[in-house]
Amino acid sequence: MARRKNGVLIKGLILAPYLILLYLLQSTVFTHLPLFGTKPLLLPVAAAGIAFFCGRVEGGVFGLFAGMLMDLSYNQLTVQFTLLMTFLGILIGLMSDTVLVQGFPSYLLSCALELALVSAYQVLSLWVLGNAPVPLSAAVGLRQTLYSLIFSLPLYYLSRFYFRVTRSGRNI
Amino acid sequence: MKDLISKKVIRIGVAAVLVALLAAVTVALSGGSAGFASMLSEPFFKPLKSALTSLVGSLEHVYDYMYRFDEMEAENAELKKRVAQLEQDYREYTEISEENGRLRSLLGFVERHEEMTLEPATVISWTASNFSSSFTASKGSDAGIALYDPVVDEYGNLVGQVTSVSGASCVVSTVIDTTLSLGAQMYENGEAGVAGGDFALMKEGNLKLSYISNTTNLVIGNTVITSGSGGVYPAGLVIGTVTGIAVGSSGLDPYAIVAPACRIDGLTHVYVITDFAVSE
């Protein structure tokens, strides 16, 4: 029991600075580095990576905290990304546990799925509020997804490194 | 299926819902001004974000110096030419300025602006969202800033509005954000309309002026100012300049494309209007 608690603590101590670093990069550094007027998202890529390697439980927990930081980086009061990214963490973890083959192509697919669903949610929100025509906002969403996918390569190695160090995720 | 949706997974789902409920309660208790996540994280993230933003700014200056030297040299030559032109313009300006001073006094602009209470703040960070335009400023309710306070730049041009506030910081949605709309009018002819963000124009850094009754009064180059109707914004703040005229998809709703007077991309310092006299 004590050993298990220590394991959780170690995972938390590794993931917390990782999350904070990505949050700070996303909300301060990369807001100054838009490509074709679009800024990248790092937190969804990292959340997909952890869910892919570590499974639905850690994916869900990491998604919960990454979602909270996404809401903060978007300067919004609501917690829509907290809920959405928790759900996506569980979903990708579940897919990784059952249907996906471990490897970079599947990981890339998971990242693309998470980013596409995050963008689709944003496009849908704007459409519901009547603030933007769908083709225009969808084009921004697509650019956001593609630009963010560039970061899936470095984050792949970091997620895999975390998984190997903690040897976790498959003991649910 | 029972194995896939384990108790742990259900617990995480419940935790996410509880966080959402907690946030909703906090937002409701704060009168819609701040979420619990921002309240909790603010003391920790604010100094880190300020330091990083400052570092990025410095690096951008170094980058500009290193890679834009040739460009800057050409720019310098161009600027020398422009100085000569400006000296000529200055002589003309002196005459116009005297006339302008008289007109300003007549309109009572100076007197009205003296009644404004301004709270200076610095821009800490910009939103990471590609679907909105907002930034976090360094002061909040502790400095007397309240929800929906107007925000201007150092020249008095309208920057936006406070859309959420906590103790030590506030979030400002800029004039080009799609959620913002305000009563506006043309400075030159008094033609009224509604200025607000539009998604397509936001990506170009512009906003639109719509619901204009007499479209013949739409002239490129005209200045758009706040009308003061509704009492949220003081009257007479400069929003921007008309740079184009377009028609909506229905073909029946012409609108003006307005370039903001404030340089949104280059904002570092802003001033929150915490109090002003409402003009009748």
**Closest B-chain CA to A88:** B13
Domain-by-domain residue ranges, chain B?
A: 68-107, 116-280
Contacts of B36 in chain A (CB under 8 A): none
Q: Is residue A37 part of a domain?
A: yes
Number of folded domains that form chain A: 1
The shortest CB-CB distance from B38 to any of A26, A72, A137 is to A72
Does A79 lie at the interface with B, CB-CB under 8 angstroms? yes
- Rounded to a whole number of angstroms, the distance from the CA of B233 to the nearest CA of chain A is 22
pLDDT in tens, A118-129: 999 999 988 888
Nearest to B121 by CA among B142, B104, B101, B102: B142
Contacts of A144 in chain B (CB under 8 A): 130
* Residue A32 domain boundaries: 2-166
User: Is the separation of the CB atoms in A49 and A69 below 8 Å?
Assistant: no
**Residue A51, both tokens:** 């869910």
**Closest A-chain CA to B20:** A79
Nearest to B151 by CA among B122, B110, B192: B122
Q: Is residue A172 part of a domain?
A: no
Helix (H/G/I), strand (E/B), else coil: A38: strand
Q: Is residue A171 part of a domain?
A: no
Instruction: Place domain B116-280 in its CATH homologous superfamily.
Output: Rod shape-determining protein MreC, domain 2 (2.40.10.350)
Please state the ipTM of this predicted complex.
0.76
Interface test with B, best of A30, A73, A79, A95 (most B CBs within 10 A): A79
pLDDT at B41 over 80: no
**Closest A-chain CA to B9:** A57
Enumerate residues 43 to 62 of chain A having a beta carbon within 8 A of any beta carbon in chain B: 56-57, 60-61
Q: Is residue A112 part of a domain?
A: yes
How confident is the model at residue A149, as a pLDDT? 94
pLDDT at A167 over 90: no
Radius of gyration of chain A (CA): 16
Interface test with A, best of B5, B9, B11 (most A CBs within 10 A): B9
The shortest CB-CB distance from B34 to any of A77, A83, A132 is to A77
Q: How confident is the model at residue B109 (pLDDT cuts 50, 70, 90)?
A: very low
Q: Do A126 and B131 touch (CB under 8 A)?
A: yes
Does A30 lie at the interface with B, CB-CB under 8 angstroms? yes
Least confident of A14-28, B5-19, B141-155: B5-19
pLDDT at A46 over 50: yes
Least confident of A130-139, A160-169, B229-238: A160-169
